[in-house]
A and B are shown apart, each in its own frame.
Chain A
């Protein structure tokens, strides 16, 4: 889960990493800037999407112009994200900006430290920065970083201020590990009166580890706040840990509801669906043999969207997900939708108890006069994507859909 800058700065502060005096403003607040002493202030839109400065969402202005700028920034859109908070901070004059981050590297299978005297650059992945003056060091997670090692790193990276840089490295690593971050980036940091100040923070927390912390951050999907449907879907997994259903649910703008199974299969199928001209209404995936009840809940959430023109239930050949149980969950979910869907439903599943499951679905479709099309493992995984796109198109033509 991504954190906004001010949330990241707050977190860093708990580990002794300082930043300039700051205050956060949202819509209804009276702008009181009396805590600030400098004539100029920095105004920064708080977004989950990064690289905002190039779009004019980071400004340095005289104190008297700040209030106007705050009200102008709030409510604006940045790459599809609505700006709801603005951070105002003391302006600290500085000549140099430096860079530090910790991230997991799939090659060394360990955390790596990235540090550079050339901060302010746009980096998030190691391979983009090879050619620059940057030090990258894998860290043994069993040992962490000792003060001596940190000093050597600071020296190697070309810093004359070994003592303060080494303590800063250790504090940042401590924040990275103790908060279970997947990535922690401080870009830039500056040295001001022999102290290090973080001028930004980009922290991604590990969703899998949130359960062992008491953070108070709002629920998010990537770079935006989660929708009601997305929150409801994620709650399914939080309430019951058997298999997954709903952990990844993302609202999209199309009209074909998708209930996919398996991470890899679902992505392969989404690619196919889009390549055939289909517009998915959502992405979601269940796997690991979830009980029928969980699939039922996920089905209800997925089919609660209006103006659907099709439903696509798709998965690879399951290793152990009980097809009968999961399709029973799907039918139970379908049963609670009123009025009954008239749009086409394409199902392609294979795995344990698939024959029994298909008999059940056929009976249900006949009894309820539903337009269900069944495919088994003899149809390649990606082919039914073409079918649902064609059926959905025909459905829309017949029913006078606008899109």
Chain B
């Protein structure tokens, strides 16, 4: 088991003919992901890595049944691509494009709520269920990921891999690893995904890589207090450095600090109160996971 994707998940890629997307598709196929079709308006009829390309999702769905879509189109085209996927009834949509205007993201998220689709991203590095399937560029460095019982949710794509590697080096495998993106508003938050991990029997604990900015820790504390998530959570929050710079968006737009109560320190305090195990130093994470799982 895993969450969101497994070896059965049939994937459509929007923007499949782009240079980065076609590279990602090759990697996904190499990993064993079931990429079955792609869409690029005006380029229907061709093939990428042996995968048929269509002009629209509607055309693609005449020939294929699809469970998930990967969106890799230029930032200003993401909104149309996402609406097309939602309208087509695709239930999982992973947006890897960065720099999507926030007003567009808000509309996409609102529309997906109305229609019952799950959005991961924007700025997501993708999802990987090790040994089963991956969607997006995540897992290009294969040996970082190994099948196991710990879920990882990270705003940062690089740190999703880095954290998986750190766990793997300590003989801790992963059930599913998700890069949720670092934008100010996210299709799926830490809390949204924790709820899915709760239902997954193969996941025994979840590691969270967070950053300053946003109020996600409040939401995490809430779902733990309401017992909607009952497994151990191990968290690391980065961003001491950012707090020394006034209102400057760094690596992730989400790290904009606009409030005194939104500091790293206050986030850590709030998480600890809810029973989350917080790593003070990044490389403590594996030891804390082992202690939580009594292994």
Verify that A and B bind, or say they do not.
yes
Minimum CB–CB distance from B70 to chain A (whole Å) comes to 13
Q: Judge whether A317 and B144 touch: CB under 8 Å.
A: yes
Chain A residue nearest to B19 (CB atoms) is A242
Q: Judge whether A264 and B182 touch: CB under 8 Å.
A: yes
Q: Judge whether B158 and A263 touch: CB under 8 Å.
A: yes
A109 within 8 A of partner (CB): yes
Task: Give A79 to B246 CA distance when docked, in angstroms.
Answer: 10
Q: Judge whether B262 and A125 touch: CB under 8 Å.
A: yes
Q: Decide yes or no: A267 and B241 within 8 Å by CB, A109-B106, A208-B75 being known contacts.
A: yes
Interface hub of A206, A378, A382 (most chain B Cβ within 10 A):
A206
Task: Give A207 to B245 CA distance when docked, in angstroms.
Answer: 18
Size category of the binding interface on chain A = 35 or more
Q: Judge whether B211 and A316 touch: CB under 8 Å.
A: no
A160 within 8 A of partner (CB): no
Q: Judge whether A110 and B259 touch: CB under 8 Å.
A: no
Task: Give A289 to B140 CA distance when docked, in angstroms.
Answer: 11
Q: Judge whether A106 and B189 touch: CB under 8 Å.
A: yes
B125 within 8 A of partner (CB): yes
Stretch from B45-53, B149-157, B225-233 that touches the partner: B149-157
- Residues in A with CB closer than 8 Å to B24 are 320
Chain B residue nearest to A273 (CB atoms) is B241
Q: Judge whether A110 and B214 touch: CB under 8 Å.
A: no
Task: Give A242 to B211 CA distance when docked, in angstroms.
Answer: 25
- Residues in B with CB closer than 8 Å to A382 are 281-283
B59 within 8 A of partner (CB): no
Minimum CB–CB distance from B137 to chain A (whole Å) comes to 4
B275 within 8 A of partner (CB): no
Task: Give A318 to B164 CA distance when docked, in angstroms.
Answer: 12
B91 within 8 A of partner (CB): no
Q: Judge whether B248 and A221 touch: CB under 8 Å.
A: yes
Q: Is the interface of A mostly helix, strand, loop or mixed?
A: mixed
Task: Please count the residue pairs between chain A and chain B whose beta carbons lie under 8 angstroms apart in the complex.
Answer: 216
- Residues in B with CB closer than 8 Å to A402 are none
Minimum CB–CB distance from A202 to chain B (whole Å) comes to 11
Minimum CB–CB distance from A42 to chain B (whole Å) comes to 25
Task: Give A377 to B241 CA distance when docked, in angstroms.
Answer: 23
B242 within 8 A of partner (CB): yes
Interface hub of B27, B140, B158 (most chain A Cβ within 10 A):
B158
Chain A residue nearest to B138 (CB atoms) is A319
Interface hub of A140, A211, A244, A263 (most chain B Cβ within 10 A):
A263
Q: Decide yes or no: A49 and B246 within 8 Å by CB, A110-B109, A242-B19, A268-B159 being known contacts.
A: yes
Residue of A109, A266, A271, A283 touching B185 (CB-CB under 8 A): A109
Minimum CB–CB distance from B240 to chain A (whole Å) comes to 4
* Besides A105-B215, A208-B100, 10 new A-B residue pairs in contact (Cβ under 8 A), listed by A number: A127-B262, A141-B106, A208-B99, A250-B245, A250-B250, A319-B126, A319-B158, A350-B165, A380-B166, A381-B162
Could you write out 8 A-B pairs with CB less than 8 Å apart? A110-B106, A180-B101, A208-B100, A223-B247, A248-B249, A267-B242, A317-B164, A351-B161
**Residues in chain A within 8 A of chain B (CB atoms):** 2, 49, 79, 104-107, 109-111, 124-125, 127-128, 140-142, 177, 180, 182, 206-209, 211-212, 221-223, 241-242, 244, 248, 250, 261-268, 270-271, 274-275, 283, 285, 287-289, 315-320, 350-352, 377-378, 380-383
